[in-house]
Amino acid sequence: MFHTSSISTRGMRRAALAAPVLAALLLAGCASTEGIAPTAHLTPPQQLGLQPVQTAFPKTDWWTAFHDPELDRLIATALADNPSLQVAQARLAQARAQVQGAGSALEPKLGAAVNSTRERFSANDIYPPPLGGAWYTENQALLQGSWELDFFGKNRQTLQAAIGEAHAAAAQDQAARVLLAANVASAYVNLARLIAVQNVLEQTLQQREHMLRLVRDRVNAGLETTVQEKQALAEVPQIRLRIDQTGVQIAQARNLLAALTGQGPQATATLSPKLDALPTLALPATLPAELIGRRADIVAARWQVEAALHGVKAARAAFYPNVNLTAFAGFTALGFTHWLQSSSQTLGVGPALTLPIFEGGALRAQLRGKSAQADAAIAQYNGTLVDAVHEVADAIAARQSIGQQIAQQQQALAAAQDALRLVDERYKAGLSNYLTVLSVQASVLTLQQAGVDLKAQALADDVALIRALGGGYEARELPADATAKAS
């Protein structure tokens, strides 16, 4: 006869022996993650000469600084109806849905199952007669629950990766909005430039037609030969040809604006912005390149790095055991007579542990792939940062130079116009020939067109600089310092 104390002592000894054996099996069963990790490193902003800075330029609605209600309306229409933005917004909605899906893995699951199975039990199976060899209906009505205990953080890291991708999608959506607004503004400035060029050409045409009449009068008076008349006559159709060519370009520029705003050509058919009415923007006295931190594409790249690093952690956690709690409760019975009676109640609860022992290298391959994905995301971020610094530097250099060019053009134009007045007076007095007048007129025309082009270029540089600085985008949430995580 065995005593209770001896039985308890033996049970304790067995448990004491089983614990280290079980621990050894767990440790031996886990596949190794040794030697697999991201190797790339984020480029420190200081390496590119970037330091923190506080400034209010540019504003989110930067285009209002041009004080043009028509431009405001066009950009508002584009941001509301453009198909490219709808694609970005759909991707953002998809990323947010993935966040919800990843978050659901952390929550308990509860479901219901009701089934009825008509079955003939084998006469040679575990069921003796009268069950064996007879037909019966097995009925079940169960509530089934499960909860995965995320001890090693796989599901939490997967959720954080999905959140990072959602933040990246939100930043990419904003980047698309900034790009679209900048494209609309650039197209609007180009349309204003073409209309201004056409006005210069029309004024030139009037001057040439007036000069043609003067030449004919002088030919009739015997003061000029027909050679000068033919030269003057040849100038008129050339100017008209350029006016027609510019008219085609104006129509195409209007069509481009219609497409950018998601409208038909008729919506912009009569659009005629005035270049002189568009002011160049007053930029801050110091315009540091550090403002590129507001660029949505850089913010998106940072979030993608964050998501990729969490993906590496999730893949690493997959090497460890997975513990699930499962439970069920309900009714089960053969036939319908006693199905929902209390005697047919059934319930159960228990943990389930799964441990990867031999996966044929699948887990290591998955971790290696996630590590490579993180390296690619870091390299993409570094490349985006370098390109952004380059764009900002070019935009600042162009913006600083254009003002000097405009001042020089205005001085040259004033001198050419004075020369044209003097030559005109000398020609009318018979003291100069037509070729001299024609040469000075051509110089004035060239300088007038240069003035139009420089003013338009200054406005385009304003838009390019604003776009290079992120268009006033300010991320509400930013990832933590990913440099330490990557290293």
Note whether residue 304 is domain-resident: yes
CATH code assigned at 120: 2.20.200.10
CATH code assigned at 382: 1.20.1600.10
Looking at the chain, the whole-number percentage of residues with pLDDT higher than 70 is: 81
Name the least confident of 272-276, 329-333, 346-350, 359-363: 359-363
Select from 347, 443, 485, 469 the least CA-distant residue to 58: 469
The confidence score (pLDDT) of residue 252 equals 95
Asked which of 355, 377, 408 is the last residue of a domain, the reply is 355
Query: 283-288: long-range contacts (C-beta < 8 A, 24 or more apart)?
Result: 283/57, 283/399, 283/462, 283/465, 284/55, 284/57, 287/57, 287/396, 287/465, 288/51, 288/53, 288/55
Note whether residue 9 is domain-resident: no
Same domain? 127 vs 248? no
Same domain? 248 vs 210? yes
Span 119-159, pLDDT tens digits:
888 888 887 888 778 888 888 888 988 888 887 888 888 88
Note whether residue 16 is domain-resident: no
Same domain? 95 vs 209? yes
Same domain? 280 vs 419? yes
Looking at the chain, the whole-number percentage of residues with pLDDT higher than 90 is: 14
The confidence score (pLDDT) of residue 72 equals 94
Note whether residue 426 is domain-resident: yes
The confidence score (pLDDT) of residue 247 equals 93
Strand order in the sheet with 109-120: 109-120, 135-149, 322-334, 345-354
10 pLDDT higher than 50:
no
Same domain? 307 vs 348? no
The confidence score (pLDDT) of residue 336 equals 81
The confidence score (pLDDT) of residue 266 equals 93
Asked which of 338, 355, 372 is the last residue of a domain, the reply is 355
Same domain? 246 vs 114? no
Residue 429: φ, ψ to 5°: -90, 0
Asked which of 332, 355, 378 is the last residue of a domain, the reply is 355
Residue 447: what residue type? L
Query: Would you place residue 268 in the very low, low, confident or very high pLDDT band (cuts 50, 70, 90)?
Result: very high
Note whether residue 297 is domain-resident: yes
Same domain? 378 vs 448? yes
Query: Would you place residue 19 in the very low, low, confident or very high pLDDT band (cuts 50, 70, 90)?
Result: very low
Note whether residue 12 is domain-resident: no
Same domain? 402 vs 449? yes
Residue 453: what residue type? D
CA dihedral 269, 271, 272, 276 (to 10 degrees): -150
Name the least confident of 13-17, 28-32, 242-246: 13-17
Residue 87: what residue type? V
Query: Would you place residue 293 in the very low, low, confident or very high pLDDT band (cuts 50, 70, 90)?
Result: low
Select from 35, 40, 34 the least CA-distant residue to 483: 40
Same domain? 191 vs 72? yes
Same domain? 397 vs 473? yes
Same domain? 279 vs 340? no
Note whether residue 38 is domain-resident: yes
Tokens 């919800």 belong to which residue? 100
Which one has a higher pLDDT value, 182 or 46? Answer: 182
Select from 105, 137, 135 the least CA-distant residue to 123: 135
Q: 276: domain range?
A: 26-106+153-319+362-486
User: Which tokens sit at 233?
Assistant: 């006559």
Span 44-71, pLDDT tens digits:
665 655 555 555 557 788 899 899 999 9
Note whether residue 11 is domain-resident: no
**Burial profile 183-205: b = 16 or more Cβ within 10 angstroms, e = fewer:** bbbbbbbbbbbbbbbbbbbeebb
Query: Would you place residue 301 in the very low, low, confident or very high pLDDT band (cuts 50, 70, 90)?
Result: confident
Number of independent structural domains in the chain? 2
Same domain? 448 vs 307? yes
Query: Would you place residue 191 in the very low, low, confident or very high pLDDT band (cuts 50, 70, 90)?
Result: very high
